[in-house]
Structure 1
Amino acid sequence: MAGIIVAFSKPEEGRTIKNLLVRNGYTVAAVCTSGAQVINMADSLRNGVVVCGYKLADMICTEVWEHVHEDFEMVLLTNPGNMYEFDKMGIATLSMPLKVKDLVNTVEMSYSISERRWKKKKLRPKPRSEEDKKIIEEAKSALIEINNMTENEAHRYIQKKSMNTGSSFAETAKLILESLYRE
């Protein structure tokens, strides 16, 4: 599940930001005062946004970022002098005093980026195991030898069968080997 984590060293600041986000239609998963709490909460969520101040009770925002940034976006509320430094790191920054509209728009954008990255990561095909690669090569070799196909034709044949049956490429190669050597 995706979520928004609000993290400030002062609990009242965290509650204020949470209330702003909730009033604008967002669900806040947690309000934290320490980096360790943020990291623990982020581990229980698949992705999301961390809205935080520069310094938390036990670490600064960049240390939190190092632990959660693969699946999370960060929105840092800071003074205008520090903004450029964090933009280079890929952390969205908002200067204080804060405009509610800027916060809402930045959180929305960051949340969308996090969701898109997670979906793209989820859809990425898993690498084939060495065993699967070996089975596929054996099936191609058998098709080349027995049916006088080129390697490209053998590959396309396995691919087409895989798509028609809805099974994986390696499973289809295994079935082809079984049927060829059964005959």
Structure 2
Amino acid sequence: MTNLIVALPKPEDAKGIKNVLVRGGFRVTGVCTTGAQVISQVDGLGDGIVICGYKLADMVYSQLRECLPPGFEMLLLASDRLLKECGGEGIVCLSMPLKVNDLISTVGMMEEGIVRRRRKARSAPKARSAEETALLREAKEILMARNHLTEDEAHKYLQKCSMDSGTNLVETAAMVLAMMKA
């Protein structure tokens, strides 16, 4: 689930928004009245959405946005007059007075974007360390020297062995090195 933090200057307004979100099927992580409380809440959380007003007791929305970790987005609730001057990277705006359906659908849309980014990050290939890269290079060099292969052919050989044995490429390179050095 996505972390949702509601930050409004009046506690009763914040609790009201929280109740609307909970009835809409969302889980609210925290309710805050100051930017400092929000910053303390997001510490240690990977990503999420901060739903806030234009001005909190200790800072305005833009100052709070600058303090949020990269994985967090902001849903700014303000009057049309204020929203004309607002915006920025990672900030979605909703005008007040608020319609429940607009709030629920906007938070749902933002949550889908965060879930999509998480999935994309998980499926992205992991970068190899310098040690792993050196191991692969050494295995390819041995295959190239002993079997008269090109670098591309050596790499394809390692990939095929990796798939056949069900191990990753680095483990396969280590096995090839162990066999060739023995």
How does the TM-score come out when normalised to structure 1?
A: 0.90
Structure 1 match to 2:168: 168
Structure 2 match to 1:61: 61
1:16-165 superposed matches below 5 A: 16-165=16-165
> Could you tell me the percent identity over the aligned residues?
46
The code of the aligned residue for 1:33 comes to T
Gapped regions of structure 2 (runs ≥ 5)? none
Q: Are the counterparts in 2 of residues 74 and 110 from structure 1 also a CA contact under 8 Å?
A: no
CA distance in 2, matches of 1:36, 1:164: 54
Q: Are the counterparts in 2 of residues 14 and 31 from structure 1 also a CA contact under 8 Å?
A: yes
Residue 170 of structure 1: how far off its partner (Å): 1.8
Distance 1:22 1:170, change over 3 A: same
CA distance in 1, matches of 2:124, 2:40: 26
Q: Are the counterparts in 2 of residues 73 and 113 from structure 1 also a CA contact under 8 Å?
A: no
Once the two structures are superposed, residues 23-68 of structure 1 have per-residue CA deviations (whole angstroms, 9 ceiling, x without a partner) of 2111111101122221222223332211111122222222222232
Gapped regions of structure 1 (runs ≥ 5)? none
Distance 1:44 1:150, change over 3 A: same
Residue 69 of structure 1: how far off its partner (Å): 4.8
Distance 1:160 1:48, change over 3 A: same
Q: Are the counterparts in 1 of residues 47 and 69 from structure 2 also a CA contact under 8 Å?
A: no
Q: Are the counterparts in 1 of residues 140 and 154 from structure 2 also a CA contact under 8 Å?
A: yes
CA distance in 2, matches of 1:85, 1:150: 60
Q: Give the helix-richer structure, 1 or 2.
A: 1
Secondary structure at the aligned position of 2:119 is classed as helix
Residue 15 of structure 1: how far off its partner (Å): 0.5
CA distance in 2, matches of 1:160, 1:63: 53
The code of the aligned residue for 1:57 comes to A
CA distance in 2, matches of 1:164, 1:58: 60
The code of the aligned residue for 2:77 comes to L
Q: Are the counterparts in 1 of residues 136 and 173 from structure 2 also a CA contact under 8 Å?
A: yes
Secondary structure at the aligned position of 1:95 is classed as strand
Q: Are the counterparts in 1 of residues 50 and 74 from structure 2 also a CA contact under 8 Å?
A: yes
Q: Are the counterparts in 2 of residues 83 and 93 from structure 1 also a CA contact under 8 Å?
A: yes
Root mean square deviation of aligned Cα:
1.8
Residue 21 of structure 1: how far off its partner (Å): 0.8
Residue range with higher mean Cα deviation, 156-165 or 169-178: 156-165
Residue 145 of structure 1: how far off its partner (Å): 0.8
The code of the aligned residue for 2:103 comes to L
1:2 counterpart = 2:10: no
Structure 1 consecutive aligned stretches of length 4 or more whose deviation exceeds 6 Å: none
Q: Are the counterparts in 2 of residues 158 and 169 from structure 1 also a CA contact under 8 Å?
A: yes
Residue range with higher mean Cα deviation, 10-19 or 114-123: 114-123
Distance 1:44 1:99, change over 3 A: same
CA distance in 1, matches of 2:161, 2:16: 58
Residue range with higher mean Cα deviation, 73-82 or 60-69: 60-69
Q: Are the counterparts in 2 of residues 71 and 118 from structure 1 also a CA contact under 8 Å?
A: no
Residue-pair matches, total: 182
